Amino acid sequence: MQIIAPEMDNSWATNTGEKLVEKSVGNDTLTEGLYDDFLCKELIQFVD
């Protein structure tokens, strides 16, 4: 059994932006990126 747990920052593994960008909102830093595409198109193929 393999458990793959990539870090998705605060994105909930959805596409939140066209490229990786960190934005400050108050005291929090939000990260935007193409997390869903990464999971479905790159990570699964890499693990296989």
pLDDT band at 10 (very low <50, low <70, confident <90, very high): low
Domain ranges of the chain: 16-48
Q: Is the Cβ–Cβ distance between 11 and 24 less than 8 Å?
A: no
Token pair for residue 9?
Answer: 């920052």
Q: What is the average pLDDT score of the chain?
A: 80
Cα–Cα distance for residue pair 13/10, rounded to 1 Å: 8
Residue 13, pLDDT score: 73
pTM, to two decimals: 0.52
Beta-carbon contacts of residue 37 (< 8 Å; ≥ 6 apart): 15
Output the CA angle 11-12-14, nearest 5 degrees.
75
Which three-class secondary structure state does DSSP give residue 42? helix
Percent of the chain with pLDDT over 90: 0
